[in-house]
Structure formats: structure tokens, C-alpha cells
Amino acid sequence: MPGDSAVEEVELPGGYTLMVRGPGIVELLEGEVEVFGARISRGRRLQVPEGRVLPLEAISDSFLRSSAEPGEVVKGSTVPNSWAELAEEALEARKILVIGANDTGKSSLVLYAANRAAREGRRPAIVDADVGQSDVGPLGTIGMAILREPAPTYSELEPADAYFVGDKSPVGHLLPMIVGSRLMVDEALEAGAAPVLVNTTGLVEGSVGWALKVHKIEALRPDLLVLIERESELEHIARSAPRDVKIVRLRPPASMRKDRGWRMRYRAANLSSLAARRAPIELDLRSLRILNASSLVLEEDAELARRLEVAAGVRPVAAGRFGEEAVAVFRDRLEQQSFSYASAVLRSYGEPRIVTLDRLVGLYMGLIDGRGRFAGVGRMTDLDLRSGALRGEAAFIGARDVGGVVFGYLILDDQWQEIGSIRPGYFRSDRSISKYVFSTGFQSIPSSRAISLRPCTPMAASAASSSTNVPRPSTSSRVTMAAPTR
Ligand SMILES: Nc1ncnc2c1ncn2[C@@H]1O[C@H](COP(=O)(O)OP(=O)(O)O)[C@@H](O)[C@H]1O
Ligand SMILES: [Mg+2]
């Protein structure tokens, strides 16, 4: 177990920085140490998260006790001068947006600049839109925290609010990503916080990265845009930025250490900390707002349900039309023949979509209160559409009542660890949405494979199975882009 590493006492001369790797606890026995701009005084204990490297910079000769894995010692600070200059500029800004690929130091820079502002007596906020590597709030959320004092690690920040997206990647969720970021920034500003520093996902490449970042710039209108580039991978984003936004271009800090696999461990640790607080819940869906699952808010069509039962030999738990789609929800996965017949029935009503609830055991979900504000996250274990009962577990943040459920995309085991996912659009009507919001990974039954209703016409095997199987990774060729309208 990495958490069981030995406790060591370390002497660190003033003017040197010791890098320690989490998980572990560091306690300052003597002296003065700074971490990302936050001063730590004697007796202070720091939690170094799994998958993170923390630079402990000794201001004066110091003595530490640490259970985190010690790394190298470097002379001076690992905080680049460019960060100090940026932190200075940030004091004059209201909104600062930080963009960079994975592992370019975004989270650390944001924390450092916020700490420096807090030291100057400001009330900075961090909006963490990196849903896959959440520093503030649960995994898959856009979290917001206001700093009352400098914080050496993110684990010391309590989220003031969050917006549930439900996945570890923004792909397929560009609308919630933009809306959530804007809502959290507005909320921080309304609470009197400034500067508001916004961290983002490492998705910068290609047309999806471009669309996400450029629209985020549009929606947030930052007065300072920080681009952290290894080479010139952000050029396409810089070129589309409004002319009146001040752009600061930085290189990733030289002292950064890359460690393959840490991103996964960081996610696992985030989910474990949620699991440690979980409690059983039972919700009545009929009285709740349901988001992200159009298949659950269908207008029931009894005739369609009856025809589906005759064709498939199994009664659907729900059936109806949603826009141009004809949707059937079954409790369990259908046999291939039944699937083909059910698809054929649906096709005579619209674009066929078949959802099976057994695929959704362990689904990650967000809980919101009656006003749509974040209340917590949960894991669904059972969904009974007839009675409307949703059972599962939830970890609450704050003390808000549950007024709605936002379905997510990750599938979690009973320890809340990732064991799979459903594709964006499995549960939601993405067929048409995808044309407008760059959603990817949609699978439907190709219309060229349409079959007639006669019972013995076999459906092409590949078409049938590709629609029931676990989603394949989406390919970039599926991405469609709409021209921005002005
Ligand atoms: N200036 C720095 N000095 C020392 N370590 C750093 C520095 N910047 C980042 N790191 C470490 O490098 C790793 C990746 O940095 P991080 O800020 O998480 O990048 P990103 O958010 O872009 O993925 C982290 O473990 C972090 O503690
Ligand atoms: Mg990060």
C-alpha cells in the first residue's frame, strides 16, 4: 500500500525545496515552510493527496515529519518567476481563465495565484472546471471555493458550490461545461470574491478542444487569459480569442514531474473520499426534477408499449416518443432477436432508441435542490420506473434537500470506483443535439439496415449488436461542428 510508507524526520535548510509525493501527511516540527505561496507554521499538518507532488519550500531552516514519499531536494523555489509576475497581475483582474494541456501546472498555478491574492487581503475564488481531475468538489463537477486564507493544498478547500457534469471528460457535455463554468464564476463574483481564477480540463486539441475553450472564453469574458504551452499547441485557441482580452503565455514549470497513471489514482482517491461519506437514499422520481435522461421523461404511448411487447416478447417499462425519437426502456438487456424486432417496431414511430436499465446499475448521479443548486452526488443501485423509486447511495455536500437528479455517465462499483461508463447520449436524446453541440460517440441503428416488421426477417447481426454493446470509444470523425451563430 502506498499509504503505508514509513514516517521520516527530515531536515530542510532554508532556501531549499523538498518535493514529496502523496499520499501521506507532512507535519512541520520547526521552522517555516511555504507551499504554492501558502505559509505554513509550526505544528501544521498537511495532507498530500494521492498522485500529487508537493513542493515544500523552506523559508528558514526547518524540520519536518513526513509519511509522504520524499523526492528530490532543489535549491531555491520551484515556483517560476513568471508565476509570481502573473500573481501580481491577477490582483488587478476580476476573472482569470487558465488553459493548458494535461500536466502543464494549471492547478498549481491557480492555487498559487489564489494564495498570493489571499495573502494580499483579497478574497479570491477558484472555479475548477477540470471535471476529470477535480481539485475542488467531487469528480465530474465544476466546483467553486472561496479562499478565506491561503491553502497549501486543495484538500483544505471546502467547495461553496458545484455544478454536476457527471463524466471525467468534457466530450459530449460541452453545453453543461460552459453553462456550469459561467454559473460558478457568476456565483463567486456575486459572493464578492475577486479575483476569480478558473481552471479547465486539458482538452485543448482538435476541433472539440477548440470549440470548448473558445466558447468558454466567450462565455466567461476573462480579463486575463493564461495559456500554458509546451510548444504551440494553443495557437488555434489564441487566434480565436477576442482582441480585448489580455493574453499571458507561459511554459510549464521546469520542476514538474510527470508520473504516468497518477491521473487515474487521483480520480480514485476523489471517489474514495466521497464513498467514505455515503449513506443510503431512496428517492421518488415522480416528485423530482430529472435532468440528462430524456428516456425517463417520455410521454407514455400505451399502443407502442403493447406492440413492443408483442414483437420482443418482453414488456418495456416505458415507451414513447421524444422528439424525432421512438424510445423503449427495458429492464434487462434483450436477446438479439427481440432487440431486432423491438427496433423494427420503434422504427415505424421514429428514430429507434433502446435503453436497458440493467446497464445503469452503479450510475453516478448529481443531486440538486429544489432551486437547482448542488446538493451532493450519488450512485444509483436500482431504478423502478413503475413505482418511480430510485435507490442508491449519496454523499451530501452541505445541507440541501433533494429536489432533482442529474444523471451522469460513469458506472461505479460498491466502493465507488470507476468500472465503466455509458456513452453520452445513451440516456438522453443526443441524436439531434449532436448536430448542434459537438457531441460525439453517438450510436444508432443505421437506417440503411432498416428491417421490415415481418418476424422472420433477420437483422444484420453487426447492426444489432453494435447498438446493445458497451460503447466503443468515439472517433473524431463523428464530431460535427456547427458554425457559431452571431
Ligand atoms: N511549480 C511547481 N513546482 C513543483 N511541483 C509542481 C509545480 N507545478 C506543478 N507541480 C506538480 O506537478 C504535478 C502536475 O501539476 P498540476 O498543477 O496538477 O498540472 P495540471 O493541473 O495542468 O494537470 C502536480 O503533482 C504538481 O504538484
Ligand atoms: Mg489540474
Q: Looking at the predicted structure, is the pLDDT value of residue 38 above 90?
A: yes
Are residues 94 and 218 both part of a single domain? yes
Task: For residue 81, report the distance from its CA to the centre of ligand 1, in Å.
Answer: 15
Classify residue 482: in a domain, yes or no: no
- Which structural domain, as residue segments, surrounds residue 95? 81-253
Are residues 42 and 98 both part of a single domain? no
> What CATH number does the domain containing 65 carry?
2.60.120.1030
C-alpha cell at 11: 531536515
Q: What is the pLDDT of residue 433?
A: 40
Classify residue 260: in a domain, yes or no: no
Helices (H) and strands (E) in the chain, counts: 10, 25
Question: β-strand 224-228 against 246-250: which pairing, if any?
Answer: parallel
Q: What is the pLDDT of residue 452?
A: 30
Per-residue pLDDT band at 446 (split at 50, 70, 90)? very low
Q: Looking at the predicted structure, is the pLDDT value of residue 259 above 70?
A: no
* 124 φ, ψ (degrees, to nearest 5): -75, 155
Centre a 10 Å sphere on the Cβ of residue 455 and count the other Cβ atoms it contains.
11
Are residues 449 and 314 both part of a single domain? yes
Q: What is the pLDDT of residue 52?
A: 87
Any atom of ligand 1 within 6 Å of the Cβ of 101: no
Ligand nearest to the CA of 84: 1
Q: Which of 153, 256, 266 to mutate to test the pocket of ligand 1 (most atoms within 8 A of CB)?
A: 256
Interval 426-445 mean pLDDT:
40
Q: Looking at the predicted structure, is the pLDDT value of residue 191 above 90?
A: yes
Are residues 146 and 30 both part of a single domain? no
User: From atom 16 of ligand 1, which residue's Cα is the shortest distance away?
Assistant: 105
Classify residue 108: in a domain, yes or no: yes
Task: For residue 103, report the distance from its CA to the centre of ligand 1, in Å.
Answer: 7
pLDDT mean across residues, the chain: 86
Percentage of residues in the chain having pLDDT higher than 70: 85
Are residues 21 and 150 both part of a single domain? no
Residues whose CB falls within 8 Å of the CB of residue 309, separated by 6 or more in sequence, listed in order: 315, 316
Contact 320, 392 (CB under 8 A): no
Are residues 453 and 360 both part of a single domain? yes
Are residues 377 and 429 both part of a single domain? yes
Q: Looking at the predicted structure, is the pLDDT value of residue 478 above 90?
A: no
Q: Which of 53, 110, 262, 264 to mutate to test the pocket of ligand 1 (most atoms within 8 A of CB)?
A: 53
Any atom of ligand 1 within 6 Å of the Cβ of 66: no
Task: For residue 165, report the distance from its CA to the centre of ligand 2, in Å.
Answer: 17
Q: Looking at the predicted structure, is the pLDDT value of residue 423 above 90?
A: no
Domain count along the chain: 3
Long-range contact pairs involving 219-223 (C-beta distance under 8 Å, separation at least 24): 219/178, 219/181, 219/182, 220/95, 220/97, 220/181, 220/182, 220/185, 221/95, 221/245, 222/93, 222/95, 222/96, 222/97, 222/198, 223/93, 223/94, 223/95, 223/96
Ligand nearest to the CA of 54: 1
How do residues 239-252 score in pLDDT, each as one tens digit? Answer: 999 999 999 999 99
Contact 142, 128 (CB under 8 A): yes
- Alpha-carbon gap, residue 96 to 247, rounded angstroms: 10
Q: What is the pLDDT of residue 451?
A: 33
Classify residue 167: in a domain, yes or no: yes
Radius of gyration of the chain (CA): 25
Ligand nearest to the CA of 105: 1
How do residues 269-316 score in pLDDT, each as one tens digit? Answer: 999 999 999 999 999 998 999 998 877 777 889 999 999 999 999 999
Are residues 233 and 349 both part of a single domain? no
Q: What is the pLDDT of residue 106?
A: 97
How do residues 141-154 score in pLDDT, each as one tens digit? Answer: 999 999 999 999 99
Question: β-strand 418-421 against 8-12: which pairing, if any?
Answer: unpaired
- Lowest-confidence region among 211-220, 250-259, 323-332: 250-259
Per-residue pLDDT band at 400 (split at 50, 70, 90)? confident
- Alpha-carbon gap, residue 40 to 463, rounded angstroms: 61
Task: For residue 9, report the distance from its CA to the centre of ligand 1, in Å.
Answer: 24
> How long, in residues, is the chain?
486
Percentage of residues in the chain having pLDDT higher than 90: 73
Task: For residue 143, report the distance from its CA to the centre of ligand 2, in Å.
Answer: 13
Per-residue pLDDT band at 463 (split at 50, 70, 90)? very low
How do residues 345-367 score in pLDDT, each as one tens digit? Answer: 999 999 998 988 988 999 999 99
Are residues 120 and 140 both part of a single domain? yes
Any atom of ligand 1 within 6 Å of the Cβ of 21: no
How do residues 73-82 score in pLDDT, each as one tens digit? Answer: 999 999 999 9
Per-residue pLDDT band at 257 (split at 50, 70, 90)? low
Are residues 102 and 169 both part of a single domain? yes
pTM of the model: 0.86
Classify residue 295: in a domain, yes or no: yes
Task: For residue 266, report the distance from its CA to the centre of ligand 1, in Å.
Answer: 13
Question: β-strand 125-128 against 196-199: which pairing, if any?
Answer: parallel
Are residues 218 and 328 both part of a single domain? no
Q: What is the pLDDT of residue 297?
A: 73
Q: What is the pLDDT of residue 425?
A: 67
